[in-house]
Chains A and B, each alone.
Chain A
Amino acid sequence: MSMDSVMKDLKAINAKYQMFHTMSDDISAGDAKFLFSAKDNLTSKDMETCAGSRILEGYHPVFDATCISKLREAGGKLVGKTNMDEFGFGTFSTNSGFEVPRNPYDLNRACGGSSGGSACAASVIEDHMSLGVSTGGSICCPASFCGVYGIAPTYGRVSRYGLIDYGNSLDKIGVISQKATDLKKYMEMIAGKDEKDPTSMVQPDFKTAYRKMRSVAIPKEGIEGLSKEVEAVFKDAVEQLKSMGVDVDYVDMPSLKYAMPAYYVLATSEASTNLARYVGMRYGHQEGDHSLKFDDYFTEVRSKYFGDEAKRRILLGTYARMAGFGGRHYAKAREVRQVVINDYKRVLETHDAVLAPTMPFTAPRFDDISKMSALESYKADYLTVPANIAGTPHLSVPCGYDSNGMPVGMQFVADHWNEDVLFSVAEDWEKQFDLRRPEMSI
């Protein structure tokens, strides 16, 4: 299929799956070398950027995110900005001020989140790469639910310049694609130091040579609480890995269960300060009663245009930061982060990666999601959060399908800056894995 015909079909595809919030007006591929899409929290000069929030409706950034400008320079054409949970706050892309993407394998099910639109686009569109962003699992979760490959690199590997912040000490930009070989190809384009993001300036060279994954450690904590079907699919996948010559050990990583509460303290504390700037001045929605005192006006705009989950996280984060709690919660959470890092380092001294299923269940139905409490959906991330809080690179690969035909993913976590071993295992896996494309009638 030519890029031009892909471009021509995009509108119809989007009508069915709702992966895009904004699409390129220009439907010819021109002389583009490849097509890509980007999560809508990455700023783009030529397209409205809302990060899934109505408070940013109408915002046209004056600059491109570094990752987007690098892809454009490499000959890429940005075809659309993908739907997501508001500011990244969610696991199913349902906490959005706009459209909710639908799972390519079953339109009544979610794509996962928060980079749901990106995973959906990568799954459905021919030969397509989409940029995702992970704070607590937002790349691997939707990659798993949509049956595609996704990598969240080491924290600091890709410049965050132009990323609309959720939790700055956690946010990582990565790549989602149907093809394992795309991960390395596009990561190499977007990785690297960028003076506009000081946290990107300490990274060592990006390694691209093949390095075979020889051993993985499966933490006991990572195979608890799984659905029966995920457990069974994962078990088969582990056998398959062994047959590929990967040693498998079972280990204890007691710190993993503390990652979740620490994550929510860190992420919401940072988010509540990041979201303070959205007050109906300077960009986004600015209508409201201008005769009000400024703080009443700010309250009016924020009350009206932030979604419920954004409000919940602002409240949680503000509470965690406030007098008397700051030391108790925020400082403690940082200590926990270090403990989790140490736990990974200990295990990764003798193994190339830590392995577990990506999500404890397959993509849920929208009607089931609507019955879930906030806490239940937070808990669904217990397998992806630890690697995110540690800033270690992690990869989700499709590893099988449940009885409904929904994809199951497994997640490899490598040591800081060791993306190379993740690319290699993804490519090795792809060679022997029977990927089932979703039905594509439109």
Chain B
Amino acid sequence: MKIGLECHVQLPTRSKMFCSCPTADCEFPNTYVCPTCLGMPGSRPVLNKQVLIYGIMIAKMLNCEVNDTTWFARKTYFYPDMSKSVQITQYDNPIGERGVYYLDGKKPIRITRIHIEEDPGSTKRTADLTSLVDYNRSGIPLAEIVTEPDIATPAEAREFLTQMVRDLRHLLDIPDDLEWEVKCDCNISVGTERVEIKNVSGLKNAEKALHSEMVRQIAMIKAKKKIVRETRRYDPDRDVTISMRVKEFEDQYGYIDEPDLGIYHIKDLADSIRISESPQNMILRITSQYKLDPKMAKQLVNTSIDLAILFEDIAKEFGTPNAIKWVGGPISANWRAMESRGVTDLGKLKELIGEFSEGKITDTQCTIGIKSYMTGQDATAAQEDSAGLETLINKFLDENPKIVTDYQKNDKAANQVIGFVMRQTGGKYSSAEVVETAKKLIEARF
């Protein structure tokens, strides 16, 4: 089975790709529009340079070769929400080509190309069968990332998308609380002929759509029926794919170069752009650099890049064992609580660990200090809480000694403790904190 993806993500510019209209959401339709994004006769596109910069950053993140020159093309098709009946996109010489992106640091997924293009408007169907068109989205910049058919299963496709979206969010500095959807055209062939599932929204739906189509193709092959090359769409409510049309080939759109925009010489610009380490690369690096359990590396980075950076700071200053003990332990457990309080200064935490490593404070004092700083509880309450949690877990372990022996075979056994504590306390403790304390107490019983 072969799976290839074409992923569309929105680039977080403040103004649109070819005009100065805002890209923000607007509750009133057809408000953030101008002659250019409405395609009025005589209007013309002017490129927003930030779009090129984001495109180059993505190309670099996906280890693509960035072309020295790049330009735009017109893709012609008729649809009411496409204001010019022409989409400005890229065909020849996209920003980046021939990249590779490693899934979990191991499996290479080849990247065919990454290009930038404008979004059309949107069409809303009403109850009485008429459609209303809103051009607020018309001209919003998108990046399209196309992979080779190197993905083996629907689950792997989701894994790929999850990892890439996390890396892209970090690269483009998309705030954690901002919804940032990826839309995919999913190509899958179980046998020899390829089927495209158009415009699937979200990671979970991509996996489900591919799975559903895989099952359909297997059934077809078993029944000795011919799979035709076509475009289908996915209906998530019924979990089926439905035929839309016989697959068109890209060159049937009659691409020509966009004559209103020139050729962009981007070599110097590309050379000047440095991208920060992607979360995935950081996981791989800290795993090997500090000889960490890959799970811990992943957990640190996925919780927050800042947490992983703190880990490195502590490791450098007070040694890796302290970093694992404190950053991997109570700091990680209380990170979300601290974030939700808007606390960003990490100096106090470093200070506490420093005092501990010099023997000025005890293990318990350090734990309580960290917890009270991060959660805002006063030290006594934090101590009582922490003592309360430990008492609760010790009681449970006394009653269920098998957990300790199970844990030695598989550390997932600690999960049983979470359920118990959550039931007892109604979510007073974060699950990270419960797991961390449980592990500590179980390991103490070996």
Residues of A whose CB lies within 8 Å of any CB of B are 42-43, 49, 51, 56, 59, 61-63, 65, 160-165, 167-169, 195-199, 202, 269-270, 272-273, 276-277, 279, 281-283, 294-295, 298, 318, 321-324, 326, 330
Contact = CB atoms under 8 A, between A and B. Distances in A.
B251 A294 contact: no
Interface stretch (B72-80, B216-224, B236-244): B72-80
B78 A298 contact: yes
B426 interface: no
14 contacts: A43-B42, A61-B41, A62-B40, A160-B260, A169-B259, A195-B46, A197-B260, A198-B45, A202-B262, A277-B84, A279-B80, A282-B40, A324-B251, A326-B254
B249 A323 contact: yes
B83 A168 contact: no
B83 A277 contact: yes
B256 A161 contact: no
Contacts, number: 105
A323 B252 contact: yes
B35 interface: yes
Contacts of A195: 46
Nearest to A269: B256
Nearest to B135: A282
B85 interface: yes
Contacts of B45: 198
Contacts of B234: none
B257 to A, nearest CB: 8
A163 B42 contact: yes
Q: Which of B35, B133, B255 has the most CB of A within 10 A?
A: B35
A199 B255 contact: no
A161 B79 contact: no
A321 B255 contact: yes
A161 to B, nearest CB: 6
Contacts of B256: 269-270, 273, 321, 326, 330
Nearest to B252: A323
B79 A277 contact: no
B86 A51 contact: no
Nearest to A325: B254
B316 interface: no
Contacts of A283: 40-41
Contacts of A321: 76, 254-256
A38 B334 CA distance: 71
B152 interface: no
Contacts of B44: 160-161, 196-198
Given A273-B74, A322-B254, A326-B256, A164 B41 contact: yes
A282 B84 contact: no
Given A62-B35, A321-B255, A321-B256, A276 B42 contact: no
A51 B85 contact: no
Contacts of A276: 76, 78, 84-86
Contact of B42 (A61, A199, A202, A272): A61
B86 A273 contact: yes
A193 to B, nearest CB: 12
Contacts of B40: 61-62, 282-283
Given A198-B262, A321-B255, A330-B256, 5 more contacts: A63-B35, A169-B259, A273-B74, A277-B83, A323-B252
B401 to A, nearest CB: 70
Contacts of A326: 251, 254-256
A56 B42 CA distance: 12
Contacts of B202: none
A437 to B, nearest CB: 34
- Tell me which of A59, A167, A169 has the highest count of chain B C-beta atoms within 10 A of its own C-beta: A169
Contacts of B85: 276-277, 279
A318 B261 contact: no
A202 B44 CA distance: 16
A56 B249 CA distance: 33
B39 interface: yes
B42 A161 contact: yes
Among B80, B133, B249, residue most surrounded by chain A Cβ atoms (within 10 Å): B80
A132 to B, nearest CB: 16
Contacts of B46: 195-196, 198
Nearest to B261: A198
Contacts of A196: 44, 46
Interface in B45-80: 45-47, 74, 76, 78-80
Contacts of A42: 42
A56 B262 contact: no
Contact of B41 (A199, A277, A279, A318): A277
Q: What 4 pairs between A and B have smallest CB-CB spacing?
A: A321-B254, A276-B85, A168-B259, A169-B259
A160 B260 CA distance: 9
B255 to A, nearest CB: 7
A51 B40 CA distance: 13
Nearest to A163: B42
B260 to A, nearest CB: 5
A59 B39 CA distance: 14
A369 to B, nearest CB: 27
B139 to A, nearest CB: 14
- Of A42, A169, A269, A321, most buried by chain B (CB within 10 Å of CB) is A321
A295 B255 CA distance: 20
B327 interface: no
B421 interface: no
B38 A198 contact: no
A202 B263 CA distance: 12
B251 A277 contact: no
A195 B260 CA distance: 12
Contacts of B249: 323
Given A195-B46, A199-B262, A277-B84, A282 B38 contact: yes
Contact of A322 (B80, B131, B252): B252
Contacts of A322: 251-252, 254
A59 to B, nearest CB: 7
B446 to A, nearest CB: 69
Given A199-B260, A270-B259, A276-B85, A281 B41 contact: no
Contacts of A199: 259-260, 262
A56 B254 contact: no
A301 to B, nearest CB: 11
